[in-house]
């Protein structure tokens, strides 16, 4: 049992290291141009702000997905913290075949499959399936995972 928290923290460190590396790589072209220090600082601050927002939403979604997995007695709820494995966990919660993961990466098909999977996740949480359709509505799609995770 003590091995899993260590594995989870190791995976989080690896994921955050990759994100930090990508952050630094995106700044290289910006610094290659001739810009003033104030412009670089402003762009850096804007990028940092967006990065913090992204991390906050990622943590929120991972916590919600892990809670849903725990409440539906799905195996390996810690998969919610690993980007591609999140899709596998969602398919397991929805009781859909694992090969559907391929469909998530086809441009318009991925949206339809995402709605179908979230409808099945809503049903697994004993909520109306139309909650899954709301995942395509901007702003509301931020509320749906939290509602499915933490409502009674």
Q: Is the pLDDT of residue 33 over 90?
A: no
Q: Identify the band that residue 38 occupies on the pLDDT scale cut at 50, 70 and 90.
A: confident
In degrees rounded to 5, what are phi and psi of residue 89?
-65, -40
Query: Which pLDDT band holds residue 22 (cuts at 50, 70, 90)?
Result: low
Three-state DSSP state, 41: helix
Quick one: pLDDT at residue 2? 46
**Please, which contacts does 56-59 make with residues 24 or more away whose CB atoms are closer than 8 Å?**
57/142
State what percent of residues in the chain have pLDDT above 70.
Answer: 77
Q: How many CB atoms lie within 10 A of CB 120?
A: 18
Q: What is the pLDDT of residues 56-101, one digit of tens each?
A: 999 999 999 999 999 999 999 999 999 999 999 999 999 999 999 9
- Distance between CA atoms of residues 62 and 86, nearest Å: 8
Structure tokens at 44: 């850096």
Task: Please give the pLDDT value at position 1.
Answer: 47
Residue 27: what pLDDT?
Answer: 63
Q: What does pTM read for this prediction?
A: 0.74
Structure tokens that stand for 32 in this block: 């290659």
pLDDT of res. 108: 93
Indicate the pLDDT class of residue 135, thresholds 50, 70 and 90.
very high
């Amino acid at each position: 049992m003590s091995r899993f928290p260590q594995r989870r923290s190791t995976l989080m460190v690896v994921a955050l290291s990759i994100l930090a590396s990508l952050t630094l790589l995106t700044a290289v072209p910006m610094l290659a141009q001739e810009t003033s220090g104030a412009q670089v600082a402003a762009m850096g601050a804007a990028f940092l702000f967006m990065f913090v927002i992204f991390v906050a939403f990622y943590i929120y979604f991972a916590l919600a997905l892990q809670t849903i997995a725990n409440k539906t007695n799905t195996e390996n709820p810690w998969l919610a913290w690993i980007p591609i494995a999140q899709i596998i966990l969602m398919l397991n919660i929805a009781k859909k075949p694992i090969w559907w993961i391929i469909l998530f990466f086809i441009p318009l098909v991925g949206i339809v499959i995402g709605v179908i999977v979230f409808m099945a996740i809503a049903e697994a949480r004993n909520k109306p399936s139309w909650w899954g359709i709301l995942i395509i509505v901007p702003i509301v799609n931020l509320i749906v995972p939290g509602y499915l995770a933490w409502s009674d």
